[in-house]
Every structure is written in C-alpha cells, then in structure tokens.
C-alpha cells in the first residue's frame, strides 16, 4: 500500500474529499466526516480507519494492527506496517469504513452526494415542489382568513 494507491481508492468513493490536518496527516472525509487517515511523514502507524465492531475485534487480534490512538473508542483501527493487510482486504475495509460514515449522514446529504456523482443536479429541484406546495397552502390559508374576516 502506498499513498498514491490509497488516494486513488478513497477518492473513488462518492463525495470523498481529502485534507491535510494536524500538520502532516492526510485525512479522507465524506461530507466533513472522517473515514480514513494516513500520515505523510514517518509515524508509528501508517493508516487508521473506522471499522465495524466485528471487524474491530477481529483486526485488533492480528499482528501489526492495533486500536487507533485517540480513536479506538469509536472503533478505529491503525495499521503499524504497510503490509499488515493485503490490498484486497484493505480495499474492502476502507469501503466499509466509508459506507459506515456515509450511512450516518442525513438522507438529504446522501442524496445530494449520490446525485452529484451521477452528474445530476437534482438536489435543488427536489425542494422546488415542496416550496410550491407550502406557498399554495399559505395562500389558501390567507384567503380563508380574509374570507372569514369579511364575513364578520
């Protein structure tokens, strides 16, 4: 696993952004929520990511994989060596990490990310019918109120 491969993989997930944070860590996020972190300078761990409770228990029993410092309570694991997992395992686990974080985003945010990925700018259009309906309701209420006021 190298940083270029990791970047290519993580940035292939819908709505993923990257950001340098805490001085020298490359952080991968979806809608501002982290799902993977890798240091760009030598460090005790080479990659940290969110894991499911089952994966967390299984992975932390393996050699060169530890509970991530400061993040273990949130079920994050850290790889101490670049070869702690195969590329296939790592691809699957990073996809799971992304999907866990993505799954906790508000539905509107998820729809917006998925819509923008397919090139459709539907997020703004979805709100339009609701606005029109609210406007119609407000106008009907106002007309009914005026009618009642005239009748008095």
In this predicted structure, what is the pLDDT of residue 6? 94
pTM beyond 0.75: no
Taking only the tens place, the pLDDT of each residue in 105-137 is: 999 999 999 986 554 444 444 444 556 667 777
In this predicted structure, what is the pLDDT of residue 132? 62
Taking only the tens place, the pLDDT of each residue in 13-59 is: 999 999 999 889 999 999 999 999 999 998 889 999 999 999 999 99
Instruction: State the Cα–Cα distance between residues 27 and 150, nearest whole angstrom.
Output: 64
Give bridge partners of residue 33 from the DSSP assignment: 30
The CATH classification of domain 3-105, taken from the options 3.40.50.300, 3.30.499.10, 3.90.1150.30, 3.10.310.30: 3.90.1150.30
């Amino acid at each position: 696993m190298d940083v270029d491969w990791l970047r290519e993989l993580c940035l292939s997930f819908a709505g993923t952004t990257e950001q340098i944070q805490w001085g020298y860590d490359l952080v991968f996020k979806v809608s501002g929520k982290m799902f993977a972190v890798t240091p760009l300078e030598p460090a005790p761990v080479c990659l940290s990511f969110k894991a499911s409770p089952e994966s967390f228990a299984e992975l932390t029993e393996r050699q060169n994989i530890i509970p991530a410092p400061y993040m273990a309570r949130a079920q994050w694991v850290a790889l101490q060596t670049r070869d702690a997992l195969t590329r296939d395992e790592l691809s699957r686990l990073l996809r799971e990490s992304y999907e866990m974080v993505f799954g906790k985003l508000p539905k509107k945010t998820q729809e917006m990310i998925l819509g923008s990925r397919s090139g459709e700018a539907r997020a703004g259009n979805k709100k339009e019918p609701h606005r029109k309906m609210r406007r119609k309701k407000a106008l009907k209420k106002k007309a009914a109120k005026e009618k009642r006021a005239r009748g008095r």
